[in-house]
Amino acid sequence: MPHLSRRTAIAAAPFAALAAAGLGRVAGAQEAAAPLPPTGNAGVYRTGVGAWDVAVVSDGHFFFDPMHPTLGGNVGAAAFAAAVEAAAMPADGLAHVNALLARKGDRVVLVDAGGGDAFAPTTGRLIANLATLGVEPAAVTDVLLTHAHPDHAGGLMLPGRDRQPAFANATVHVTEAEHAFWRSGPALAQSGVPEEMKAAVVKTANDALDTAGERLAMVTDGAEPVEGFTSVACPGHTPGHCGYLLSDGDATLYFTGDTIFFAPVLTSHPGWHVAFDTDPAEAAATRFREMDRIANERLRIASPHLPFPALAQLREDGAGGFRFLAEPWRFEA
């Protein structure tokens, strides 16, 4: 789970309602033409994986504030700032929150559920963006959680104090290790979550899991909770953190969870720590292992916090890191 900016954290006091905010700039035509109404950029991007109709669906965004030492806390501020400048990353720490939708036959699968109103006032757009694809929440058959941080599991709950399920007909899949971790009431001792927010983070994870009720299903490493989706253990960010490799024939797409984010800075420097990893050393080892696999197997990836539409590949950079290669935008899915 990434660190919220002060401006976001204040507005997103635990379970705060989604802020009503403008979605973009007002575009005006030349001369005396009436201005166009306010609008935003696309929140969905369709692609395919074999016979699966796939879309990256935005739940919104947030800001790392401060970026350092939340990211790269085991290196100096100057080194981190130089890497951010070299990568031309936004100075405001902008980060995205993405989910993956996959449809085939009678299966409508979400990988992660975004943050809903449990994370930030700038998240909670998943259901509205699903509607643009003609997908109603009741139609979702499965939700595969990479882990239960609020920006991934908070969207399982509808806004409001009674925490009703957003996807009432879906089986919610979570790894056994992840489930056991949050049910244990962890202290988050090695985590960079601010002390005043730790209890809310643990409560949100448990509330989200409770929302699933009898629809909660356990996943083991290497299992296929849904045919075509193979779970890949990626511990360190949380003990039960995982990715999901979607395969259909020769086509694949690896949804990495939080193993990969804030690219290209952290792909170039896989050993740099992230404050919200429960075990920073294990998480760094997992990042390098999975990035090496992605580069060598030429895997296509998607990730919850990559810049939208969050599709990319990696290649070794010859300096111990990996080049981040965003996939070209295609206008026909």
**What's the CA dihedral at 282, 284, 286, 289 to 10 degrees?**
-140
The total of structural domains in the chain comes to 1
Asked if 140 and 126 touch (Cβ cutoff 8 Å), the reply is no
Q: Dump pLDDT digits (tens) for 137-169.
A: 999 999 999 999 999 999 999 988 788 999 999
Residue 11 has pLDDT above 50, yes or no: no
Average pLDDT over residues 85-110: 96
Residues spanned by the domain of 11: 6-15+48-326
Q: Of 312, 251, 281, give the one whose Cα is nearest residue 102.
A: 251
Residue 38, pLDDT score: 61
Domain membership of residue 321 (yes or no) is yes
Residue 179 has pLDDT above 60, yes or no: yes
Residue 14, pLDDT score: 40
Domain membership of residue 156 (yes or no) is yes
Residue 16 has pLDDT above 60, yes or no: no
Scanning the structure block, which residue is given the tokens 């109404």? 37
Residue 33, pLDDT score: 57
Residue 29, pLDDT score: 33
Indicate the SS3 state at residue 84: helix
Asked if 124 and 235 touch (Cβ cutoff 8 Å), the reply is no
Residue 34, pLDDT score: 63
**Phi (first) and psi of residue 37, to 5 degrees:** -70, 160
Domain membership of residue 198 (yes or no) is yes
Domain membership of residue 38 (yes or no) is no
Domain membership of residue 1 (yes or no) is no
Rounded distance, CA 149 to CA 155, Å?
11
Residue 54, pLDDT score: 99
Residue 36, pLDDT score: 58
CATH code where residue 79 lies:
3.60.15.10
Domain membership of residue 149 (yes or no) is yes
Domain membership of residue 282 (yes or no) is yes
36 or 326, which is more confident?
326
Write down the mean pLDDT value for the chain. 89
Residue 90, pLDDT score: 87
Residue 186 has pLDDT above 50, yes or no: yes
Average pLDDT over residues 88-105: 95
Domain membership of residue 289 (yes or no) is yes
88 pLDDT band (50/70/90 cuts)?
Answer: very high
Global pTM? 0.88
